[in-house]
Amino acid sequence: MTLLPPTPEQQKRIDAELAPDPETRKRDVAALREWLAKQPHLPDHIDDARLERFLFGCKNSIERCKSILERYFTVRTAIPEFFALRDPFAREVQECYQATHYFVLPSLTEEGHRVSVLRLRDAAIDKFSIQAISRKILMVLDTRLMEERCLSNVMVIDLEGFSVGHFTKCSPTQNIVRKSMLAVQDGMPFRLHKVHFLHAPAFIESILKIIYPLLKDRLVEKFRVHTGGGEELHAYMDKNILPNEWGGKAGSFDELNDAWQKKIERNKDWFLREEKLSRTNESARLPNARSKLLTELDGLQGSFRQLNID
């Protein structure tokens, strides 16, 4: 699956928000490289191209980038549920591709945002796993970090096929839910523009009230809840960039999902290598370098309220 680059018009919009300056970027990357060398607990194998993408995602803020790099590597050590056994051909990974659709659309929106879609491929509750879905999402995000930078992201979560049982299944894995949010929200240099929920069931407000406390306020403000399907997105983006089933021309759900599966499988060696390299050495962490993320993880007590859905 090829991620198409910005059109000239989209590039103008992106440059207007984050003007390119090759010399400044070069100095910033050198500054980050110097900082990494002084952090004995962090790996230093990351290449300049990926550092540039981190910087871009952090709006060229070196301090913000340092914070994200710290969390990016720390979650890979602290939350092995998502970052171990990332062989694309492992049974758990393959089963997740059969149970869920998760893919990134090839074309950007007119504003320069990249669109990702998450939906059930198999509605059987026993095939639904928050841990497996989180691992799949993070593998796709890592793949994107190797290939591109974009202004911001739009997430589309299609709830068609979801039942009370799917949401109830989240309750005993409450810590996994919180860990997933920590890894995706704060451990990746991707900015979020909007989150669209499609086919929202009647009990969606009950679900959101439970999830809201786990989210940052600025993230909740980006939510848009729709009772209809993909046609609801036409008011927000050019429908041609959407999957065929939603009136677009990007390809079918299965084609897009399978293309991303093949892309990740082609990167098997990278994932296996990164699984070993992109880790913190906690024994070498300096006392004043205690990660806020580790503190947050230590504080998880499993107090996520039970689901009571009318």
Q: What is the pLDDT of residues 254-300, one digit of tens each?
A: 999 999 999 999 999 999 999 999 999 989 988 776 666 666 666 55
Inform me whether the pLDDT recorded for 108 exceeds 80: yes
* pLDDT score, position 303: 41
Strand order in the sheet with 113-120: 100-104, 113-120, 152-158, 192-198, 223-225
Residue 183 pLDDT class (50, 70, 90 cuts): confident
Residue 96 pLDDT class (50, 70, 90 cuts): very high
DSSP readout, 188-220?
A: S---EEEEEEES--TTHHHHHHHHGGGS-HHHH
Residue found by looking up tokens 């549920």 in the block: 81
Inform me whether the pLDDT recorded for 217 exceeds 80: no
Q: Which residue has the higher pLDDT, 133 or 298?
A: 133
* pLDDT score, position 305: 40
* Chain mean pLDDT for the chain: 87
If we measure between CA atoms, which residue out of 196, 195, 183, 73 comes closest to residue 135?
Answer: 183
Mean pLDDT of the 36-43 span: 94
Mean pLDDT of the 37-61 span: 93
Mean pLDDT of the 132-148 span: 93
* pLDDT score, position 170: 66
Residue 245 pLDDT class (50, 70, 90 cuts): very high
* pLDDT score, position 67: 92
* pLDDT score, position 295: 66
Inform me whether the pLDDT recorded for 137 exceeds 70: yes
Q: How far apart are CA 30 and CA 94, in angstroms?
A: 39
* pLDDT score, position 214: 67
Mean pLDDT of the 123-142 span: 91
Burial class (CB in 10 A: 0-12, 13-18, 19+), 191: middle
Q: How far apart are CA 226 and CA 200, in angstroms?
A: 6
Q: Which residue has the higher pLDDT, 268 or 204?
A: 268
* pLDDT score, position 302: 43
- DSSP run (H or E) holding 157: strand 152-158
SS (H, E, C) 75-138: HHHHCHHHHCCCCCCCHHHHHHHHHEEEEECCCCCCCCEEEEEEEECCCCHHHCCHHHHHHHHH
**Bridge partners, 100 (sequence order):** 120
Among the residue ranges 156-160, 172-176, 272-276, 305-309, the one predicted with the least confidence is 305-309
- Residue 83 has φ and ψ, to the nearest 5°, of -120, 5
Q: How far apart are CA 67 and CA 45, in angstroms?
A: 17
Q: How far apart are the first and last CA of the chain?
A: 42
pTM, entire model: 0.90
Inform me whether the pLDDT recorded for 226 exceeds 90: yes
Mean pLDDT of the 212-223 span: 77
Other beta carbons within 10 Å of 6: 18
* pLDDT score, position 204: 82
The residues near 185 (Cβ < 8 Å, ≥ 6 apart) are 215, 216, 219
Q: Which residue has the higher pLDDT, 209 or 115?
A: 115
Q: Which residue has the higher pLDDT, 4 or 219?
A: 4
* pLDDT score, position 301: 45
Residue 54 in contact with residue 27, Cβ under 8 Å? Answer: no
Q: Angle formed by the axes of helices 48-57 and 22-37, to 10°?
A: 110
* pLDDT score, position 287: 79
Residue 220 in contact with residue 241, Cβ under 8 Å? Answer: no
